[in-house]
Amino acid sequence: MSIQSINPATGEVLRSFEPLGEEMLRSKIAVAHAAFKAYGEIPLEHRALCMRKLAGILEDETEELAILLTQEMGKTLESARQEVRKCAVGCRYYAENAARILSDEPIPTDLNNSFVRWDPLGVILAVMPWNFPFWQVFRFIAPALMAGNVVLLKHSSNVPQCAVAIEALVRRAGFPRGTFQTLMIESRQVESVLSDERVAAVTVTGSEAAGRAVAAQAGWLIKPSVMELGGSDPFVVMPTADLDRAIETAVKARCINNGQSCIAAKRFIVHADIYGEFEKRFVDGMEALKVGDPMKETTDIGPLATAKLVEDIELQIQAATAAGGRILCGGERMVGVGNFFEPTVLVDVPRTAAVFREEIFGPVAMLFKAASLDEAIEIANDTPFGLGASVWSRDPEEQKRLIAEVTAGQVFVNAMVASDPRLPFGGVKRSGYGRELSGAGMRAFLNAKTVVIAGVVEQTVIPFEEQTTEEPTLNVVSFDSGRFKSAFRTALKDGE
């Protein structure tokens, strides 16, 4: 079966690719493995030069690349431009800060010289999603390449042209052959790539199902992994908030990237004292959004990336209304060509309903009324996810409680949740583990090597008779490899 690039606004097949066969796939892994050995000899200053050149190419070719993103994924043209520019910012950040992040860390001990050095792990497999086809990839490869790792990219199957374009950009910037390669493969082939002993680690950004599948295999193989998975981010608004700014930001936070963002606000939790005004103005804001051709500058929301996403949202809205929820606006797919869906607001969805705990990946918001700050925090945490949270209050004590008590990988006070190369990015609970971006993201795939250089000092010797010879007891959990492989392939296919 070919891998197809389909314009979500028109349904037109833009281009088709044949998946790599096993022999060619193994050849690419071999090239990456050989490249890692040579890449370590290249000075950090030269890597930084290539990374700056990559940033310059992105800036110079923003318009052409943005058109590609829009045609293949459906995001509005302006948001595509912003994404490409953000990739350039990320490249420059790591070009300028890698030396600081990678520098040895002296640690005072009783010995003469003790420190930690940071060594790259090797070939890293990156399984990336379609919703930010460039940024999701660049926010990993910029720190990875600067650190001396090499990358194999398995991009989502509906954005193959973006995957090919990124490899071409990296090569044009001067990075050596094999340091970054796109693998045009199907989901079922991820298992064999990760199983290859030459692949050292894996990072996944995507659905919970995809994360479970890859994390399970990585754990069995004892390979490091980072998981950035789903989110059902709360947007908490208290009476002390600047309501005008909160409402304006709320509409943007729900519908950014056509509503297809893991850190988009999805559950709006509003104090009872201001709920009525918030609801009315929020619904007005959602209804005012213009849905249409993403290539037009006046469009606010383009199509969803795939037809299946439209079907999934329809089922979730049906489940919400069946459980007692009400639709205040939208709720329907838009008639005509393309994967367009109306901006939608749901209220009265009971917390016992299954859809309450699901991630809705599209321009659909759920509103909830809270009688107090305690209840607002309770509702915010009543989710299996914990990626980000946006909280709105001008009261310092309320801010302290929201920061401390809302369970999330990041809390933004009086601002929309967003990723930034300078800040660690990631979640807790079923939103995943590990961090991307900042120094923490770079070090996620580095070996923190402890180095101790001793001078002539006295060393304490344990008498032989006091040394233990007992073997540690291990609790071994049996592993059904056949059942795992079947579950792996199903989960990754469904969760891509």
pLDDT of residue 221: 98
Q: How confident is the model at residue 464 (pLDDT cuts 50, 70, 90)?
A: very low
DSSP class of residue 35 equals H
How does pLDDT run across 52-106, given as a tens digit for each residue? 999 999 999 999 999 999 999 999 999 999 999 999 999 999 999 999 999 999 9
Label the pairing between strands 364-370 and 265-271.
Answer: parallel
pLDDT of residue 493: 55
pLDDT tops 90 at residue 383: yes
Beta strands in 63-111 (DSSP E): 105-106
* Residue matched to tokens 């990678």: 102
Average pLDDT, the chain: 93
Q: Which two tokens stand for residue 422?
A: 């300078």
* Residue matched to tokens 């933004």: 412
At 107, is the secondary structure helix, strand, or coil?
coil
pLDDT of residue 111: 75
Q: Which two tokens stand for residue 421?
A: 């190369």
Residue 461 Cα distances to 113, 282, 464, 466, 470, angstroms: 20, 71, 9, 10, 19
Q: How far is the C-alpha of 196 from the C-alpha of 194, rounded, in Å? A: 5
Q: How confident is the model at residue 476 (pLDDT cuts 50, 70, 90)?
A: very low
Q: How many helices (H) and strands (E) does the chain have?
A: 15, 20
* Residue matched to tokens 């009315």: 280
- What is the arithmetic mean of pLDDT over 294-309? 98
**435 CB-contact burial (10 Å; exposed 0-12 / middle 13-18 / buried 19+):** buried
Quick check: 452 and 109 in contact, CB under 8 A? yes
Quick check: 390 and 376 in contact, CB under 8 A? no
Answer with the residue of higher pLDDT: 452 or 489: 452
At 277, is the secondary structure helix, strand, or coil?
helix
Biggest alpha carbon distance in the chain? Answer: 83
Domains of the chain: 3-229+431-447+485-495 (3.40.605.10), 233-413 (3.40.309.10)
Quick check: 125 and 202 in contact, CB under 8 A? yes
How does pLDDT run across 354-377, given as a tens digit for each residue? 999 999 999 999 999 999 999 999
Q: Nearest to residue 192, comparing CAs of 19, 431, 1?
A: 19
How does pLDDT run across 181-221, given as a tens digit for each residue? 999 999 999 999 999 999 999 999 999 999 999 999 999 99
Beta strands in 424-480 (DSSP E): 428-429, 432-433, 446-453
Q: Which two tokens stand for residue 152?
A: 């194999």
pLDDT of residue 84: 98
The C-alpha R_g of the chain, in whole angstroms, comes to 24
Our answer to whether residue 314 is catalytic in this structure is: no
Quick check: 185 and 191 in contact, CB under 8 A? no
* Residue in 91, 262, 279, 398 annotated catalytic: 262
pLDDT of residue 468: 45
Sign of the dihedral defined by the CA atoms of residues 428, 433, 435, 436, in that order: negative
Our answer to whether residue 255 is catalytic in this structure is: no
Residue 87 Cα distances to 59, 255, 274, 415, 443, angstroms: 9, 21, 39, 21, 19
* Residue matched to tokens 């037009």: 296
* Residue in 228, 358, 359, 398 annotated catalytic: 228
CB atoms within 10 A of CB 454: 12
pTM (global) more than 0.85: yes
Report DSSP letters for 170-181, one per residue: HHHTTPPTTSEE
Quick check: 76 and 300 in contact, CB under 8 A? yes
**Residue 235 backbone phi and psi in degrees, to 5:** -130, 100
